[in-house]
């Protein structure tokens, strides 16, 4: 297990509407961290939905995903808790991260699949949501405080399997630049990852090449192509231009 500390503070948690949230008891924190859904079995979904850690405002789903080792990540807790409280799919923490952001960041591809499939079962009822967009795509397109989508996070942490899943689920979405002025494709090219560049270009019909200071993904790959190190990445980009 990855170490996750218990957080405490005296001030009550408030949501965006100024309503008090329930500060998480260490018993519930530890249960979520080890993937034990039993303590939440008889808990009303309304209560589960307002359980947050004090400082980072992580829900029990965030905690479970963060606490798991990449090689042995289990989907059991996520499946069980989302069956009981599906609203956790779109809950964000203090960084603006949804559970999908966190799963993408940690490379938990099986959990990413579960989150997307669960979201497909729901229709988002927010009046501000664009008509016709289902919850899964709404969730995939959500940005955190850094204006990163889950795809940005997957690329940033070199999680190719997650990149493939997310691009196939929403192939027509033109991902915009984050706070650093970087799109997922630009980031992948800048890292010289031919696998990620290929996944983005093959699965996305509207992949943006945008980067900071007027540069493009091709510029990024070219600038890093010392001694032909990233020549394959450049050839892939050129073939799609």
Query: What domains, with CATH codes, occur in the chain?
Result: 1-144 (1.25.40.20), 171-241 (1.25.40.20)
| pLDDT confidence of residue 204 | 83
Chain mean pLDDT for the chain = 82
pLDDT in tens, 163-215: 999 999 999 999 999 999 999 998 988 888 888 898 998 888 777 777 777 77
Inter-residue contact 186 to 227 (CB < 8 Å): no
- Residue 222 pLDDT > 80, yes or no? no
Task: Tell me what pLDDT residue 19 has.
Answer: 46
| 203 or 1, higher pLDDT | 203
**pLDDT-derived band of residue 7, with 50, 70 and 90 as boundaries?**
very low
High-pLDDT (> 70) share of the chain, %: 76
SS3 state at 127: coil
What pLDDT does 122 receive?
79
Residue 13: strand pairing partners: 21
Give residue 232's pLDDT.
56
Task: Give the span between the Cα atoms of 211 and 213, in whole angstroms.
Answer: 7
In the three-class reduction of DSSP (H, G, I as helix; E, B as strand; rest coil), residue 91 is classed as coil
Beta strand ranges found along the chain (DSSP E): 13-14, 20-23, 51-52
Question: What's the pLDDT at 184?
Answer: 94
Burial of 100: CB neighbours in 10 Å, binned 0-12, 13-18, 19+:
buried
pLDDT digits (tens, 9 = 90+) for 83-126: 999 999 999 999 999 999 999 999 999 999 999 999 988 765 55
Residue with tokens 């100024």: 18
Q: How many CB atoms lie within 10 A of CB 49?
A: 18
**Which residues are bridge partners to 14 per DSSP?**
20
Distances (CA, A) of 218 to 157, 163, 167, 179, 192: 20, 19, 20, 20, 10
Q: In the predicted model, is pLDDT for residue 226 greater than 50?
A: no
């Amino acid at each position: 297990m990855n170490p996750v500390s218990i957080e405490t503070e005296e001030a009550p948690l408030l949501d965006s509407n100024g309503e008090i949230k329930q500060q998480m008891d260490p018993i519930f924190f530890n249960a979520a961290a080890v993937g034990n859904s039993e303590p939440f079995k008889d808990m009303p979904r309304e209560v589960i939905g307002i359980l947050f850690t004090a400082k980072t405002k992580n829900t029990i789903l965030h905690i479970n995903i963060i606490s798991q080792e990449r090689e042995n990540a289990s989907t059991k807790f996520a499946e069980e808790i989302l069956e009981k409280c599906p609203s956790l799919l779109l809950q964000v923490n203090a960084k603006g991260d949804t559970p999908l952001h966190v799963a993408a960041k940690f490379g938990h591809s099986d959990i990413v699949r579960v989150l997307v499939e669960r979201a497909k079962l729901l229709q988002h009822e927010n009046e501000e949501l664009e008509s016709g967009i289902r919850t899964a795509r709404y969730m995939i397109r959500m940005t955190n405080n850094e204006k990163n989508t889950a795809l940005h996070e997957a690329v940033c942490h070199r999680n190719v399997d997650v990149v493939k899943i997310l691009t196939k689920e929403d192939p027509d979405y033109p991902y915009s630049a984050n706070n650093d002025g970087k799109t997922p494709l630009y980031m992948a090219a800048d890292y010289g990852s031919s696998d990620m560049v290929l996944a983005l270009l093959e699965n996305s019909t509207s992949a943006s090449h945008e980067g900071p200071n007027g540069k493009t993904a091709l510029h990024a790959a070219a600038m890093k192509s010392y001694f032909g190190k990233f020549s394959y990445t450049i050839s892939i980009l050129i073939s799609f231009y």
